[in-house]
Amino acid sequence: MTAPISPTGPIGGAGSPGGGPSEVSPTPWYRLSPSQTADRLGVELQSGLSSAEVLESRERSGPNELLSEPKRPWWLRLVDQFRSVLILLLLVAALISAAVGDLKDPIVIGVVVIINAILGFVQEQRADQAMEALSTMLTTQARVRRDGAVNEVPSSEVVPGDVVLLRAGDRIPADGRFVRATSLAVDESTLTGESVPVDKDTEAIELPDHPSADGYGAAAQLELAERSNVGHMNTTVVRGTAELVVTDTGMSTEIGRLAGMISADEPGLTPLQEELERLGTRLAMIAGVAVGLVIAVGLLRGDAAADAILGGVALAVAAIPEGLPAVVTVTLALGVRRMAERNAIVKRLASVETLGSTTVICSDKTGTLTLHQMTAITAWAGGTSYEISGLGYGPDGEISPEPDEALRRFVRAGALASDAVLRTGEGGQPELVGDPTEGAVIVLANKAGEHGETLRSEYPRVADMPFDSTRKMMAVVTDDPFGGSGRRLMVKGATDVVLDGCTQMDTHDGVVTLDDSRTAEVNDLMVGFGVEGLRVLAVAGKELASDWDGDPEAELNELVLYGLVGILDPPRKEAGVAIAECGDAGIDVKMITGDHATTAAAIGGQLGLDGEVVTGSDLDAMSDDELARRIGDISVCARVSPEHKVRVVRALQANDEIVAMTGDGVNDAAALRRAEIGVAMGITGTEVTKEASDLVLADDNFATIVVAVERGRAIRSNIVHFVRFQLTTSLAAVGTILVARILDLPTPFSPIQILFVNIIADGPPAMSLGVDPPSPDVMKRKPLGRTEPILTGTRLRRILTTTALMAAGVVWLLAQYRHSDIPKLASTMAFTTFVFAQLVNSLVVRSDGRGVFHRYTFTNGALWLTIAAVSALQVVVVQVPFAQKVFDTVGLTRGQWVQCLSVVLALLLVEEVWIRARRLVWPNASLT
């Protein structure tokens, strides 16, 4: 934590440990003049800190770094893998079984539990390694003035009181007060969500105040976006030069404050974790009842207490699907791998499924739904309106109608009156250095065939007037680029300011007077652009003499208006499609941004977000209850703070929504942590945001979220399938053993046969169900609610029906062969029938009410290979002499095999008849 510098003395003065400057004085830095700021910090701006003062300040404030969450030790993360209710239940059963002298079950259970733990642990380790490899935040350098000289130091070594020198392209290393600024603009989108660079100056901001102890006065805090003389850590200078004196470093910065909010807001259980906890509790109850019944029956029949207890524990083990935790882990791990192939990196296994349950996605606008590349989409020159295609800084795109001389004059002047530079970056992609708005003007010139860099080399500046936030315009003078013999003044800036200096306008027929009617036409255009959420720039100029050598500011009169350009940070092409797909899937998408309401509404409209638009002020006026009532009708929240974002997420959660929050900026991080699943951008996302997220999009593409949703839903569906499959198997085994015990029939399964059923005949098919491809209609279904259980009423009825059919078939065979002269024949028949019934059941549970005889049945090759392999193993177990000794079986005749398979076929036919009959009687009822 950074300790503040005393306002009453130099760097060596006392400060409040661990606090920000506000703990010493209520006066915020933006209310002080540069000289007052320097006085409070005890620094000479011309020479900077001395080496001794730097050491003293660093000792007090620490490194200029954000505190990251300490990683849990590897052994604690390994212990976490054993905290499932099912795992604990299995371990208890294993201990009891071992206590009464049976070591087979405890050994097998222990192996299964250990494998499950290793799988989960390894996957989480791999996710951490992927995040480290994805990190793009390289160590940056800062130019600081110390001991009267300018030096480059690592940003982590910057201390309060340092004077930092900044220019276009530099990342601001810490929070501070600008003490010198020339044509300065800063991109603060990662902090505030504002898509347009913010003009900065050095003037103190005057606000109504009340007396305070330091004599400067105190007032209400301004929003971050309104602090025009303050720079913030990790924001970027896009235009101009500046000197900034550092006031806060590390965790005392605004980014540090947000990082603190993140660590204080711990995430809860995911829907999958909650459901498995509930399922484990239900299984514990079922196992308890089963154990009690078996022990009671054994004691009533006169069995020894130890034998009765051992029988009860064995039945409990049969009732618990040992492979379920491992299958869940493997299914999620495979889902993680497949999602990584599609540019979605998962940090926690359980988070894979959560997206499948998501009901609302709250998305940041800038850089997530939009390109974060300002683009000229419309222009007006010579009295003609032009539409421009192509997005971002790339050269692709056309101008319609075809550019004429009036438009070319307009774009030449605009490009020459810009400072931004467009260059080729890594991977051959265009990269902008400078103001994004100027970048849009240069790209427009390129599309019109007037290349900005070529123009600048042909027409070097004779004089210029840099952009100033007060003037809101810039001007340059060059030799006449329109073909004249003299020089030409060219002005670019805010429309109202530029128009004030215009008396004429350029047309296809030459220069004409800018009379009232033409002025009204221009104003109407400006209003129309504004309604569309466009940022509008005007370009004007006038001829000068060939020997002109004066001050451009003196020539800002009697200008000729060349044209207007409408600029927007455009939506990603794929974002609109992704939002439409979310709508089909029953997922509501909300845009939450720090940008202006008009711009946000325009972008939202283009993306299909047609609900209510509210601002942060509107949210402040609502109580929590009112916000929870209205949030469903709101599509866009504009001008919001990080606290607003968290509040919106909480309002949605109050309505039992499962919320995913996407974003790339620091301002998104707290809400990402609060949401059930946070989705960060891998390329443009800050480290704070990635740390807070559960899922990172490596391609920064909002559309990748739809892929993640589809995969999450497929995984959820697969989990339902194998849970149904394994529970049916377990309950059928329990039912068969109980009924056989009560009816005094032969024991249906020996202990080793139960292990074969649970591990071999149960596990591989369940694993194959876990890798099922997505069902064709998975993105047409409505999302499941927070409390939607894996075992719905319909599914439980299907499980019990299938359980009863399987148990009845096996018990019938036991009854038929109870008096056989061949020992173990009855149990072999029961065992064989049960295994094949399991395999048929794997086809039934994945049919999702379509019926087994459907083309979708054949889309899972892994399942069919598993069925073939288990069938072959069962034949070996029954017919091979060595295997017969191990598994307590006897060989079956051809007729006995037919009898076993006939019972299984009858089970399949009953299931098919039930599905078709239910469709006829209740065509709209759920069959899953």
Express each pLDDT in 244-255 by its tens digit.
Answer: 999 999 888 887
Give tens-digit pLDDT for 493-513.
999 999 999 999 999 888 999
Q: Which of 183-187, 483-487, 639-643 is the least confident region?
A: 639-643
Q: Judging by beta carbons within 10 Å of its beta carbon (0-12, 13-18, 19+), is residue 894 exposed, middle or buried?
A: exposed
Please name which of 169, 168, 171 lies closest in space to residue 142, comparing C-alpha atoms.
Answer: 171
User: Which residue's structure tokens are 């995040």?
Assistant: 131
Within the chain, all domains assigned CATH 3.40.1110.10 are found at 380-564
Within the chain, all domains assigned CATH 1.20.1110.10 are found at 274-336+711-921
Can 694 be counted among the known catalytic residues? no
Q: Which amino acid is at 194?
A: E
Within the chain, all domains assigned CATH 2.70.150.10 are found at 21-60+158-250
- Say what percent of the chain tops pLDDT 90: 35
Residue 440 pLDDT exceeds 70: yes
CA distance 105 to 190: 56
Within the chain, all domains assigned CATH 3.40.50.1000 are found at 350-370+572-707
Q: Judging by beta carbons within 10 Å of its beta carbon (0-12, 13-18, 19+), is residue 404 exposed, middle or buried?
A: middle
CA distance 381 to 365: 31
**Parallel, antiparallel or unpaired: strands 360-363 and 588-592:** parallel
Q: Which of 104-108, 171-175, 246-250, 425-429 is the least confident region?
A: 104-108
Please name which of 705, 686, 689 lies closest in space to residue 697, comparing C-alpha atoms.
Answer: 705
Residue 654 pLDDT exceeds 70: yes
Residue 70 pLDDT exceeds 70: no
Please name which of 656, 651, 653 lies closest in space to residue 629, comparing C-alpha atoms.
Answer: 651
| Top-tier CATH class for 274-336+711-921 | mainly alpha
Per-residue model confidence (pLDDT) at position 904:
92
Give tens-digit pLDDT for 455-468.
999 999 999 998 87
CATH superfamily, with its number, for domain 350-370+572-707: HAD superfamily/HAD-like (3.40.50.1000)
Average pLDDT value over all residues in the chain:
82
Question: pLDDT grade, residue 219 (50/70/90)?
Answer: very low
Give tens-digit pLDDT for 807-826.
999 999 999 998 888 878 99
Per-residue model confidence (pLDDT) at position 540:
97
- CATH 2.60.120.10 for the 380-564 domain, yes or no: no
Question: pLDDT grade, residue 648 (50/70/90)?
Answer: very high
CATH code of 21-60+158-250, in short, is 2.70.150.10
For the four alpha carbons of 271, 276, 277 and 279, in that order, the dihedral sign comes to positive
Give tens-digit pLDDT for 319-353.
666 556 666 767 777 777 788 888 888 877 667 76
CA distance 235 to 164: 14
Give tens-digit pLDDT for 708-731.
888 888 888 888 888 888 888 888
Q: Say which of 175, 199, 248, 364 is annotated catalytic.
A: 364
Kindly state the average pLDDT of the residues 399-406: 93
Please name which of 157, 133, 131, 127 lies closest in space to residue 143, comparing C-alpha atoms.
Answer: 157
Question: pLDDT grade, residue 93 (50/70/90)?
Answer: low
Per-residue model confidence (pLDDT) at position 862:
86
Of 105 and 183, the one with more pLDDT:
183
